[in-house]
Structure 1
């Protein structure tokens, strides 16, 4: 069964270039989305999608928030970040949130095809020029490493906490009990090393920024 790939980017010319590269090199089935809400809608409707090429700058994504939402809602879908921003700090946080690869928009066709093959084999793909040992924002990078410890359910709860939702509201949205929400929040605070939900929400929002 051919790999099914969703190309999520708001630039038609770039989507066309990605489609050309992938159709000629990987033999994959391709679908497209131009906004983040459209991306989430397609993932909800099409359970056969294996990989998402996600543009960090597309409408509705808001930095790394889009990645965190896809990973929380669809943990079995592989996500490859596509962006013009490739600072080591952003890459580290994207990987911590579960990205399987990070492709600059200037990447060649061969790089794109190699990335697809690599992530489908269960490995992480990064371009050779990205040096993750380079100096960056240590506090954000450390928080990104802590984020990687969260389960998809805990990440989903953290996103709602950052949005200001109360436990009863989170329980309603996720159709779980308030006691279960409290357990998730407690686990999140412990794993992130913060003392309360306010600090957790602020730290999460800071970590999602790509500017």
Structure 2
């Protein structure tokens, strides 16, 4: 089995412990780092460039549904991401896979199933729960938007997230401590890369990623 460095980003200590046990079965006794929120995850990734695999809880503090995954994929496109969640709704799984996750593991899965999923991802394959009924059309609007998101620079991604929050160019410029003309340039580049007509459409599509169905108990 390849030597893979990994980190578990989940705010539940008991599940992190169980996931480390499953990872050990699939990856051997390589050290697995832990993070309890999205900020801790990005700090760890900046400090440990050797990390190749992230286990990401869908509703970890700091994330807005699969927006956390989109941000991770934007900044670290070469890192493999395994989503873990108590939410097993096909639409959410479809969004996660469209945004570049390599697997989606329900928290109800046994350790053996989780280990199998990890091993499959490490070998370069995708993994989904058995009998998962999702649309895997790469030409879907969500898939196209996900691919286009990866074209944005981290700074452009930050601008987009603030557009989605309803902020004006002047407000974004103040928040980022840069000139408003620079924000306008970023917005033009964002719209072109995302292949959308205006900032409203960009914000709507971005916010759709943050939709997590009620009742997720991850």
1:185 matches 2:190:
yes
TM-score (norm 1): 0.82
Tell me how far apart the structure 2 counterparts of residues 13 and 186 of structure 1 sit (CA, whole Å). 42
Tell me how far apart the structure 2 counterparts of residues 184 and 100 of structure 1 sit (CA, whole Å). 28
**Shift in alpha-carbon separation, 1:10–1:187, aligned structure 2, 3 A:** same
The aligned runs of 1:66-145 (5 Å cut-off) are: 66-133=68-135, 142-145=140-143
**Shift in alpha-carbon separation, 1:2–1:173, aligned structure 2, 3 A:** farther
Partner of 1:6, secondary structure, is strand
Number of aligned positions between the proteins:
202
Pick 1 or 2: higher relative contact order, CA cutoff 8 A, min separation 6.
Answer: 2
Q: Partner of 1:22 in structure 2?
A: 23
Q: Partner of 1:149 in structure 2?
A: 147
What are the Cα deviations for residues 152-187 of structure 1, in whole angstroms up to 9, with x where unaligned?
Answer: 2427253343243639739x689xx66862552232
**Is the 1:189–1:196 contact (alpha carbons within 8 Å) kept by the matching residues of 2?**
no
Partner of 2:74, secondary structure, is helix
Moved more, 65-74 or 18-27: 18-27
Tell me how far apart the structure 2 counterparts of residues 124 and 173 of structure 1 sit (CA, whole Å). 41
Shift of 1:117: 1.9
Quote the RMSD (CA, aligned, Å): 2.9
Structure 1, unmatched stretches of 5+, are 135-140
**Is the 1:10–1:59 contact (alpha carbons within 8 Å) kept by the matching residues of 2?**
yes
Q: Partner of 1:11 in structure 2?
A: 12
1:169 matches 2:173:
yes
Structure 2, unmatched stretches of 5+, are 214-218
Tell me how far apart the structure 1 counterparts of residues 110 and 168 of structure 2 sit (CA, whole Å). 43
Partner of 2:148, secondary structure, is coil
Tell me how far apart the structure 2 counterparts of residues 18 and 202 of structure 1 sit (CA, whole Å). 34
